[in-house]
Structure 1
């Protein structure tokens, strides 16, 4: 996984956590849900990058 992709995925997760926390604090259920969605998106992208890396390693040798 490239460092740039990893950093972006971590940023997506962090942004999602901030939104979720702000939504909880203000009682904004939509913002909270959007934050959770951003976190899931970051996790999914990170998992996809790991699969791509594993595939590259598998077919390399």
Structure 2
């Protein structure tokens, strides 16, 4: 699942770059949003992994 987060972050960076080059503020904003979504997905997966690790130890 962390791969999905990384994909969203990469997609967001690409959108943001294209938006900046073309002067498209909406595309730039969408790129930033995609990056934040990707970071959130990665954080969610990290938390799930941490909880799974704690359950196995107990």
Same fold (TM over 0.5): yes
Per the alignment, residue 57 of structure 1 pairs with 53
Tell me whether 1:12 sits opposite 2:3 in the alignment.
Answer: no
Tell me whether 1:44 sits opposite 2:53 in the alignment.
Answer: no
Shift of 1:48: 0.5
**TM-score (normalised: structure 1):** 0.88
Structure 2: which 5+ residue stretches go unaligned?
A: none
**Tell me, what secondary structure is at the counterpart of 1:48?**
helix
Structure 1: which 5+ residue stretches go unaligned?
A: none
Say how many residue pairs are matched.
57
Does the 8 Å contact 2:4/2:41 carry over to 1?
Answer: no
Cα RMSD of the aligned pairs, angstroms, is 0.7
Deviating 4+ runs (over 4 angstroms): none
